[in-house]
Amino acid sequence: MQERDYTLDEFRNLFEQVRKMGPMWDTLGSMPGMSGIFPPDQDSEQAFLRIQCMIDAMTEAERRDVDLIDEKSCGRIASDSGTEPRDVAQFVDAFKEIRALMRQMSKMSMWARLGMVNGMGTIDGLAQGDE
């Protein structure tokens, strides 16, 4: 991973790849930062379609830079995606958490990344950039 920003287009592509993996898809909700994306009462396939619709309703600039999304944008995205503005805001906040984790992971060694993926790493370890 390079040290750069993680965009919503990349996130959507990654989601599509993981979704094709089958059972692994169902474990995503337990990963750090993902709890805001997967409502507990919604199955993973419905959650993916909901997220996909929200991302598709965003402008290209918003997908490149999620920080451009404000309250007015949330209303437009919600209207275009068939969701509620609070759902869009919650997704954007969760994505910002994930982006921060991705930035921290980009500073970690390959071994530290593997340890985190295998459940051996911790959020505290990420914050320190442990190797």
Distances (CA, A) of 95 to 1, 104, 127: 17, 14, 17
Domain assignment present for residue 52? The answer is yes
Show the domain range for 61: 8-128
* pLDDT confidence band for 19 (50 / 70 / 90): confident
Tokens found for residue 63: 């997908």
Q: Are 88 and 74 in contact (CB under 8 A)?
A: yes
Domain assignment present for residue 2? The answer is no
Q: Residue 119: helix, strand or coil by DSSP?
A: coil
* pLDDT confidence band for 89 (50 / 70 / 90): very high
**Torsional sign, CA 119, 110, 25, 51:** positive
DSSP helix, strand, coil percent of the chain (3-state; round to 5): 65, 0, 35
* pLDDT confidence band for 110 (50 / 70 / 90): confident
Report the distance separating Cα 127 and Cα 130, nearest Å: 8
Report the distance separating Cα 35 and Cα 15, nearest Å: 15
Domain assignment present for residue 83? The answer is yes
pTM, to two decimals: 0.65
Domain assignment present for residue 28? The answer is yes
Number of domains in the chain: 1
Q: Are 54 and 81 in contact (CB under 8 A)?
A: yes
* pLDDT confidence band for 101 (50 / 70 / 90): confident
Domain assignment present for residue 1? The answer is no
Domain assignment present for residue 108? The answer is yes
Report the distance separating Cα 120 and Cα 100, nearest Å: 19
Domain assignment present for residue 3? The answer is no
pLDDT beyond 70 at 85: yes
Q: What is the CATH number of the domain that holds 49?
A: 1.10.260.30
pLDDT digits (tens, 9 = 90+) for 55-78: 999 999 999 999 999 999 999 999
Residue 35 identity? S
Domain assignment present for residue 86? The answer is yes
